[in-house]
Copies of this chain bind each other. A is one copy, B any other.
Amino acid sequence: MFNLMVEYYAPALDRVYAALADPTRRAILMRLTRHDARVTELAAPFDMSLNAVSKHLRVLEEAGLIRREVRGRDHHLSLDATPLQEAAAWLETYRQFWSRRLDRLEAFLSQKKSSKRRKSSR
């Protein structure tokens, strides 16, 4: 159990996945791939209060996904996609399992097809 927890206790990964589990936060990240933006610009497309958007921004900041630069009164936000790399790497370890299942489905379907063919040629 100790090994299990050492291996999977990754607070950074927890924060990144939790940050991604919301459509507004994913939309903000996508918006920032185009160019940096001020908080008000980021909030404009959403039908929610500036305060609600600010909460989402804090979650993204704590996950290390956005950086904030204060210039006078304005807060400029930019994307930092680096933590997504670890999240993607973790998911990659499962690639063989999702393809394996599709392989099994394919094998099943082709088997079904050939048994149908055999039946109809009787």
Q: Which residues on A are within 8 Å of B, measured CB to CB?
A: 1, 4-5, 7-10, 13-15, 17-18, 20-24, 26-27, 29-31, 33, 45-47, 79-82, 84-85, 87-88, 90-92, 94-95, 97-98, 101-102
Contact = CB atoms under 8 A, between A and B. Distances in A.
Contacts of A85: 98
A74 to B, nearest CB: 22
Nearest to A46: B1
Contacts of A91: 84, 87-88, 91
A25 B116 CA distance: 41
Contacts of A80: 101
A25 to B, nearest CB: 9
A94 B101 contact: no
Given A17-B18, A88-B95, A10 B33 contact: no
26 contacts: A1-B46, A1-B47, A5-B27, A7-B27, A8-B23, A8-B27, A10-B26, A13-B23, A15-B21, A17-B17, A17-B20, A17-B21, A18-B18, A20-B90, A33-B94, A79-B97, A81-B94, A81-B98, A82-B98, A82-B101, A84-B94, A84-B97, A85-B98, A87-B91, A88-B88, A88-B92
